[in-house]
């Protein structure tokens, strides 16, 4: 399983099209490495906190053996949006000058449909455990934030995770809280291997690994928050995983 010591940085050269199904108006863009990315903008509604959650969630998911598109840092030139005719998009591009975050664009992927594809219990349990850890409110039937690509399940969009950092509550209060919204998770009824996953993931998500992820966060994304806050929150939550594990197990039983 990978340790995260660095993430590539690309320069955005071409804006292709907005993805209007995303609340923060992400877009498909092309970078100077010749690849296309789904760009998450620092100037969008949730600001850099969504990028922080995206980076942390994506790195942890990958460590846990789940499939996510490659994450890159993406530089947007201040002049990038001048020729964009749509005023809303132009304003977003101007507000996003500097370092943003991109996910490799999975050409030809389709939205995961639980009526069509039934994941196995172990994979479902891994995803549910991850989202309970991260307090991810956005993996529901209405918006699965998962794609099928080359007959495999890929996770996207962790920007709604770690929602405590948008408010004024102390991280110490949140790290030991259950996550009742896990009952709305699109995969909850398939998550019957949560105890097995819990034992495995607690050995993978070491303090050293968590620190290596948090150290990747660009300084300009931290605003009034600290690396220590994110690091200690995650370590505390992993150590006390039985709190959200029990909540998820109960939700899985009642959903069957």
Q: pLDDT (tens digit, 9 = 90+) per residue, 131-144?
A: 999 999 999 999 99
Q: Are 173 and 88 in contact, with CB atoms under 8 Å apart?
A: no
User: What's the CA gap between 4 and 169, in Å, rounded?
Assistant: 29
E strand residue ranges, 56-122: 71-76, 98-104, 110-111
Kindly tell me the number of DSSP H helices and DSSP E strands found in the chain.
9, 8
Distance CA 234, CA 215 (A): 13
What pLDDT sits at residue 1? 46
- Neighbouring residues of 181: CB distance < 8 A, sequence distance ≥ 6: 135, 137
**Structure-block tokens of residue 216:** 């990747």
- Considering all CA atoms of the chain, what is the largest pairwise distance in Å, rounded to the nearest integer? 54
Q: What is the pLDDT of residue 80?
A: 80
Q: Which residues of the chain have pLDDT under 70?
A: 1-5, 20-24, 167-169, 256
User: How close are the terminal C-alpha atoms of the chain, in Å?
Assistant: 33
19 SS3 class: coil
pLDDT tens string 86-133: 888 888 999 999 999 999 999 999 999 998 999 999 999 999 999 999
Separation of alpha carbons 207 and 177, rounded Å: 20
**The pairing of beta strand 36-40 with beta strand 98-104:** antiparallel
SS3 123: helix
Please tell me the pTM assigned to this model.
0.94
């Amino acid at each position: 399983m990978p340790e995260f010591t660095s993430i590539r940085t690309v320069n955005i050269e071409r804006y292709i099209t907005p993805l209007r199904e995303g609340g923060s108006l992400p877009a498909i863009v092309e970078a100077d490495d010749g690849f296309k990315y789904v760009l998450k903008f620092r100037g969008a509604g949730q600001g850099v906190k969504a990028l922080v959650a995206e980076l942390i969630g994506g790195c942890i998911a990958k460590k846990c053996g789940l499939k996510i598109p490659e994450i890159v840092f993406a530089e947007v030139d201040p002049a990038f949006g001048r020729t964009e005719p749509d005023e809303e998009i132009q304003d977003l591009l101007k507000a996003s000058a500097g370092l943003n975050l991109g996910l490799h664009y999975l050409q030809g992927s389709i939205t995961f449909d639980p009526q069509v594809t039934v994941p196995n219990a172990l994979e479902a349990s891994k995803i549910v455990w991850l989202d309970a850890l991260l307090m991810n409110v956005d993996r529901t039937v209405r918006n699965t934030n998962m794609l099928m690509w080359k007959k495999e399940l890929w996770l996207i969009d962790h920007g709604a995770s770690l929602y405590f950092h948008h408010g004024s509550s102390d991280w110490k209060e949140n790290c030991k809280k259950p996550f009742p919204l896990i009952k709305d998770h699109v995969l909850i009824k398939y998550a019957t291997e949560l105890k097995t996953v819990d034992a495995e993931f607690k050995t993978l998500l070491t303090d050293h690994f968590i620190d290596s992820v948090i150290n990747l966060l660009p300084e300009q994304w931290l605003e009034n928050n600290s690396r220590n806050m994110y690091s200690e929150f995650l370590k505390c939550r992993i150590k006390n995983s039985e709190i959200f594990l029990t909540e998820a197990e109960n939700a899985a039983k009642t959903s069957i």
